[in-house]
Structure 1
Amino acid sequence: MDTAADERLAERLAELRVERGWTLEELAQRADVSRSTLSRVERSEVSPTAALLGRLCAVYGRSMSRLLAEVEAAPARLVRAADQRIWRDEATGYVRRSVSPPHGSLRAEVIEGLLPAGADIAYDKPDDTGREHHLWVLDGLLSMTVDGTEHLLEAGDCLRFTAETSRFHCPGPTGARYALVVVEP
């Protein structure tokens, strides 16, 4: 994301908290994240990691893609590769491309994920929204843990799941590239 998008994301996260009437302390308890980290994220002093965004999205009851779409203009019918939103998690090296951005009238979205060898991302805040996920590994090897059950996926494998918790781990020796289709209930 660019600097302006980072600032819009920070503003949107602060708006979501205020809309619910929560203090930073209340959000920190709900998301199990330090108050100071949340404050720095909301002031756009630091970019949130994928894991932190996952925790906040779980607390706010929305997918990460929907949150990121809320800070962008409404998507066009055709989204050229050069115009697809890319978000990077500097802490893990994870790259997330919103191939078909979510839209209020649509129930599905397509995401491309690039996870470098050794990267490990846990989404440990329960997602009770009933979202259906279809994860299709395009290249590499991906260890996917869903609600405590590990699945080792190779290129071509597809895992369908609804999850309370999940963990993406790329054991290497090369990175993993996958497509993730998220379907809202």
Structure 2
Amino acid sequence: MKEQSSSNPQPDINRRIADRVSALRAERGLSLDALAKKCDVSRSMISLIERGESSPTAAVLDKLAFGLGVTLASLFEAPLPDASPLVRRAEQLQWTDPQSGYQRRNISPPHFRSPIQMVEVEFPAGAKVSYAGGLREVGVHQQVWVLEGCMELILGGVHHHLQTGDCLAMQESDSIVYQNTSQQPARYVVVINTASL
């Protein structure tokens, strides 16, 4: 079930992304130019994102995550030493990809240090999102579990048709294409193991 648009904290999430990207870049001692070269995102786009003046797509965020050496989910929250291990559904951050319209909800407790991150996605009918692979030295392990509907994942050129209840394990070192060629939206959970980062 989708949240009402009035409860969608889109501007707050864009600000969080801006602050997080800027902080991670500073931690790594990367200039805008250096990060741009590392992740194949233009310097001007990174600058706009860090100023909160652009609503980046999932593909752009994924490239930034690769360049910064973190998972895409990590761009939404910074870990804190005294963070609560519990998060209620009403407090879970949501973000909508401006290009595909897919809605992403961070299920895992925000700021809590854990090698596991969980994300729920509502994927519209006809949507397609492509993630480049091979940028990280060590691939991050993840599993995709389809809760409703069906979708296709193309993993390193291999097609996987997933239906309700199916689960696919993979590494982020491969290129990944998510697509929903059906007439109905799909809903799935991604479980990410960040221990290798």
Fold shared by both chains (TM-score > 0.5): yes
Corresponding residue to 1:159 among 168, 177, 181: 168
2:188 is the counterpart of 1:178: yes
CA distance change for structure 1 residues 137 and 5 in 2, over 3 Å: closer, same or farther? closer
Change (3 A) 1:11 1:24: same
2:46 alignment partner in structure 1: 38
Runs of 4+ in 1 over 6 A off after TM superposition: 71-74
Q: What residue ranges of structure 1 are gaps of 5+ in the alignment?
A: none
Report 1:1-185 matches (<5 A). Answer: 1-70=9-78, 75-101=83-109, 105-126=113-134, 127-164=136-173, 165-185=175-195
Identity %: 36
| Counterpart-to-counterpart distance in 2, 1:72 and 1:52 | 25
Sort the Cα spacing of 1:137 and 1:16 in 2 relative to 1 into closer, same or farther, 3 A.
Answer: same
- Greater per-residue strand proportion: 1
Contact residue 146 and residue 167 of structure 1 kept, 8 A: yes
What is the CA distance between 1:102 and its match in structure 2? 5.9
Q: Which runs of 5+ in 2 are unaligned?
A: 1-8
Separation of aligned partners in 2, 1:109 and 1:12: 17
- Relative to structure 1, the CA distance from residue 77 to residue 61 in structure 2 (aligned partners, 3 Å threshold; closer, same or farther) is same
Q: Secondary structure at the match of 2:30?
A: coil
* SS, match of residue 37 in structure 1: helix
Between stretches 147-156 and 93-102, larger displacement belongs to: 93-102
1:8–1:71 contact (8 Å) kept in structure 2: no
- Give the number of equivalent residue pairs: 185
Distance 1:44 1:125, change over 3 A: farther
Conservation of the 8 A alpha-carbon contact between 1:141 and 1:172:
yes
